[in-house]
Amino acid sequence: MPPPDVNKTHEDAVGSLKNPLKFLDQDYQTLHQSLLSKKMQFSDESFPANRSSIGTGLLSDKVMAQVKWKRPSEIVLYRPCLVVDGVSRFDYAQGSKLGDCWFLASIGAVSSQMDIMDQVIPAEQSFSKGYAGIFHFMFWRFGKWIDVVIDDQLPTINNRLIFVSSKIATEFWPALLEKAYAKVCGSFADLHGGFVSEALIDFTGGVHMHFDIKEAPANLWNMMESAFKSKTLMGCSTPRGATFQNTVLPNGIVEGHAYTVTGVCQVTTKEPVRLVRMFNPWGKGEWTGDWSDRSPLWKTVSANDNKNCLSVADNGEFWMSMEDYTKSFKTMDICCLSPDFLNGSSKCSWSSQYHIGQWTTETAGGIRAIWKNPQFRVRIEKPGEDCAGGECPENILVSLMQNHENRRRKQLPHLFIGFFVYEIPPEASKN
């Protein structure tokens, strides 16, 4: 078949960062100006402050009856703020009522990249100048950037937020960002359970790499080190326990839980030791084994390594050796705007493109009739001398995602999908 058209988003095209799609046809600027002129506060009918937005199966009827939706000015005594002293992974703590650690772990990764956070949280929003109870956030969904409008009414019990909250009482960016993502996914209940990779992609539009740690390549730590140096986002998850609960093990690791990889470094004691730094989106609860905050092993490293790496605080962040990391965690996700870091050379750069196809009754051939499936032809150029010998000498990275028509995330069927890569022989490449 002939090669398909390559889809590339131009800077000003609909669905680009400069011209995002308006989610549910809500235009933030138009709504904001209308509210200011009428001196009104926004109430979002498309994601109302009631039971439907929380969703089903998350809270019992008894707990739901206690929920009251309040604006930040009704929750705190002093003037609320969207952001206080910048955005940080240490700002927030996961709520006890919602299992969206996968989403919050991805925020932990993204919050250290201010260029990305500035895209996700558009500027010139506040609770003072131009305040009208309306905010908006940006997410990347299946090839397009979307602008999501919300009101600032948040679910509370006894005047406390029941989902994510900031450790600074007057700061509300975590709660509002979580609400905007819940709106995209259908409800707060639709955020209960997921994969770090989902949110990392939705925050960045980046290319996703997934590893089963037990089957990961031998050079995984080198890959992680290169990714960290290039400010690439990383997250990981622990295996589920027998009870499928977030049980805290004696070593401090939580079963069935998502974490953020926030650092990779090598220190020297009697011999070099490779370390990985992790962040628990609960905002507390840490590994207690070797290289934890109070481990005596830190006394064996140089003063410089100790100063650069160690921070003793119960903030959910900790170090552990690569060996303990591979024993404690099951899967790992890397999300990059460009996989340049795989080459280990600043002189190398990857080009990217995406193709859109679909499986229908006629085209979903499966393995037995794979020739019926959508096919895309890609020309792989030979790497130059500067790029040779990197972590990805094959020179191609394929990332596949599935777009559904149903907005409700929890109602989406878990379809098994995949792809095959075939080499086209030279004699057939001209056909």
Active-site annotation, residues: 101, 257, 280
Query: For residue 290, what are its two tokens?
Result: 């070797």
Distances from the Cα of 325 to the Cα of 264, 331, 345, 393, angstroms: 11, 11, 27, 26
Strands 154-157 vs 160-161: parallel, antiparallel or unpaired: antiparallel
Contact 14, 21 (CB under 8 A): yes
What one-letter code names the amino acid at 328? Answer: S
> What is the distance between the terminal CA atoms of the chain, rounded to a whole angstrom?
8
User: Residue 166 is inside which H or E element, if any?
Assistant: strand 165-166
The residue type of 24 is L
Q: For 70, left (φ over 0), alpha (ψ -120 to 50), or beta?
A: beta
Q: To which H or E segment does residue 198 belong? A: helix 196-204
Q: Is 118:173 a contact under the CB 8 Å cutoff? A: no
Nearest CA-CA partner of 198 in 132, 83, 100: 100
